[in-house]
Amino acid sequence: MQSVNVSGILVENTHVRSEYLHREVKVDFFLPKNVINPSDMSLLLINDGQDMEVLGLESILTQLYAQNAIQPLLCAAIHANKDRKKEYGVAGHPDYLGRGARAGLYTSFIMDELVPFIRENYAVNSFREKAFAGFSLGGLMALDIVWNHPGEFRKAGIFSGSLWWRSIDQSEDDYDDDKHRIMQQQIRKGFFHPGLKFFFQCGNMDEKKDRNNNGIIDSIDDTLDLIKELSKKGYSREKDIHYLELPDGRHDVPTWGRAMPEFLRWGWGV
């Protein structure tokens, strides 16, 4: 394990052995310094940890702590590898091309290996709360894990989430948004879990596709439709759901870096 001090943040780079994934998973930890009681910290897991340097997480956290803008937060950035499109998705529900077939194994890695590793190595018996965030396909995976483990997590951050995830190709004659988008169906068939909160970010330049020709790109449509499903379940648009739409936002890491401070203030603002 390698440790470095950076402007009030301790950054640790390590590997966690996963029997589920049959590989060493690289994880970068961003810890606030001078936390007297580790149980005062919340835990934020982040998919696609390999992008954190470009995203600027280190400097974002440094600035927010310097401003006393957020509560203590241990961030664990989990690196993806060549199996990203197999490990990210909706557990038990691969898409029509079989992508996400290992999402259940990734979920087991998170719940049974990574979280216990963090508790043991950072001597935290109980975090203030736990959250999961991700970008694109990693955002879908984060939402799926939070939704299915409400006793473990309290918040989900979904940046340009792949909420189009569908069971059949949209080019099929019988394709129907209301029937074949997997995550929306999971929310619709699920139950209200008190205490869960959701942050969604989209960019008007995420993509150009508009399959229903309503003048709104698909990524925004898919996100707003999922928010509607959450609202129908009983989640409040004012208290439980935060939606950020960036007019010039693209489907890229710099855009998500621009949105990250608002997410962190929303979730853990002082």
Would you state the pLDDT for residue 33? 87
Task: State mean pLDDT over 233-262.
Answer: 98
* Nearest by Cα to 200 from 256, 269, 268, 270: 256
Backbone angles phi, psi at 119, to 5 degrees: -60, -45
CB 199 within 8 A of CB 226: no
Query: Does any domain span residue 239?
Result: yes
Q: Give the residue with greater pLDDT, 33 vs 145.
A: 145
Instruction: CATH number of the domain at 61, please.
Output: 3.40.50.1820
Query: Does any domain span residue 178?
Result: yes
Q: State the Rg of the chain over Cα.
A: 18
* Mean confidence (pLDDT) of the chain: 94
Amino acid at 136: S
Query: Does any domain span residue 270?
Result: no
Does 1 have pLDDT greater than 80?
A: no
- Give strand ranges (E) for the chain: 2-6, 9-18, 23-32, 42-46, 73-78, 130-135, 155-159, 197-205, 241-250
Give the alpha-carbon dihedral of 146, 149, 153, 157, to 10 degrees: 0
Query: Does any domain span residue 269?
Result: no
Query: Does any domain span residue 125?
Result: yes
**The total number of structural domains that make up the chain:** 1
Query: Does any domain span residue 116?
Result: yes
CB 263 within 8 A of CB 55: no
- How much of the chain exceeds pLDDT 70, in percent? 97
Write out pLDDT tens, residues 133-157. 999 999 999 999 999 999 999 999 9
Confidence of residue 177 (pLDDT cuts 50, 70, 90): confident
Write out pLDDT tens, residues 41-65. 999 999 999 999 999 999 999 999 9
Domain extent at residue 179: 2-263
Would you state the pLDDT for residue 2? 47
- Collect all residues with Cβ–Cβ distance below 8 Å to 11 and sequence separation of at least 6: 3, 4, 5, 28, 29, 30, 31, 58
Would you state the pLDDT for residue 222? 94
Query: Does any domain span residue 49?
Result: yes
Parallel, antiparallel or unpaired: strands 130-135 and 241-250:
unpaired
Task: State mean pLDDT over 82-110.
Answer: 97
Would you state the pLDDT for residue 3? 40
Would you state the pLDDT for residue 8? 75
Does 88 have pLDDT greater than 80?
A: yes
Write out pLDDT tens, residues 193-210. 999 999 999 999 998 888
Does 36 have pLDDT greater than 80?
A: no
Query: Does any domain span residue 268?
Result: no
Does 212 have pLDDT greater than 50?
A: yes
Distance CA 52, CA 169 (A): 32
* Nearest by Cα to 268 from 237, 235, 242, 236: 242
